[in-house]
Copies of this chain bind each other. A is one copy, B any other.
Amino acid sequence: MQIGRVAGTVVATAKEPSLDGRKFLVVRILDLDAKETGAYVVAVDAVGAGVGEVVLVASGSSGRLTEATRDRPSDAVIMAIVDSWDIDGTTKWRKHDG
């Protein structure tokens, strides 16, 4: 999985019918210091993530193993909202520190 910050949303009226009602979120990928890497992915939301939240994104066929994405043509899914992470014993990012 990759760590990313939900930066916005994509509106797409014309889409594969199986994707109706799915929410496409723009996720900016972060490095381990919580800085943006410049990369992004558009992912379907499976956990009710909102703009500004830090999340985990699973890609490929694994991204389809949620209720929101099963058997749908989506190659990336937000499957967790991150509370914090630590590296070598130090907390690198925590939810309300932003």
Determine whether the beta carbon of B9 is less than 8 Å from that of A86: yes
Cβ contacts under 8 Å, A72 to chain B:
62, 65
* A side interface size, CB within 8 A: 58
A15: contacting residue among B19, B71, B80, B88, CB under 8 A: B80
Against B, the Cβ 8 Å flags (1 = close, 0 = not) of A1-43 are 1110001111111111011000010101001100000001111
CB-CB contacts below 8 Å: A37-64 with B: 40-43, 46-48, 51, 56, 58-64
Where the two chains meet, the residues of A that have a C-beta atom closer than 8 Å to any C-beta of B are: 1-3, 7-16, 18-19, 24, 26, 28, 31-32, 40-43, 46-48, 51, 56, 58-66, 69, 71-77, 79-89, 92
Q: List 5 A-B contacts (CB under 8 A).
A: A2-B42, A8-B85, A15-B81, A16-B66, A28-B32
